[in-house]
Amino acid sequence: SQQGEEDPQALSIQEGENATMNCSYKTSINNLQWYRQNSGRGLVHLILIRSNEREKHSGRLRVTLDTSKKSSSLLITASRAADTASYFCATDPSGNTPLVFGKGTRLSVIA
């Protein structure tokens, strides 16, 4: 069963706009990771945020984590057509079990 659930399932925006995706999870975590999947490809790791961190930046990506609400958000600023992909959150629910992936958000950036 999925631990993380992304919201929305699909998102369509214009190039230059910001895109925000959310992830909610059920149990306590050690860290939360975000991945991108381009059509027909494997997943690529974007960013990892630890449970004791609240915000993290990487280029145009900003990730927040609220452990009290068991939720995270991924913000992509000034989106580009090349950002069109599916985005998945993955949680590390305990110290010795594999990551659990959500079902993903499909982002379409229209030029």
Partner 1 sequence: NAGVTQTPKFQVLKTGQSMTLQCAQDMNHNSMYWYRQDPGMGLRLIYYSASEGTTDKGEVPNGYNVSRLNKREFSLRLESAAPSQTSVYFCASNMGLAPNYEQYFGPGTRLTVT
Among residues 59 and 95, whose Cβ is nearest to partner 1?
95
For residue 57, state whether it binds partner 1 (rule: CB under 8 A).
no
Report the DSSP beta bridge partners of residue 6.
Answer: 23
| Residue 101 CA neighbour count, 13 Å, CB half | 13
Among 14, 39, 68, 96, binds partner 1 (CB under 8 A): 96
Nearer residue to partner 1 within complex by CB, 68 or 97: 97
- Of 106, 102, 107, 105, nearest in space to 5 by CA: 102
Q: Is 98 in the site for partner 1 (CB under 8 A)?
A: yes
Q: List the structure tokens of 95.
A: 């110290």
- Classify strands 105-110 and 85-92 as parallel, antiparallel or unpaired: antiparallel
1 interacts with partner 1 by CB under 8 A: yes
Q: Among residues 13, 24, 26, 48, which is the contact residue for partner 1, using CB under 8 A?
A: 48
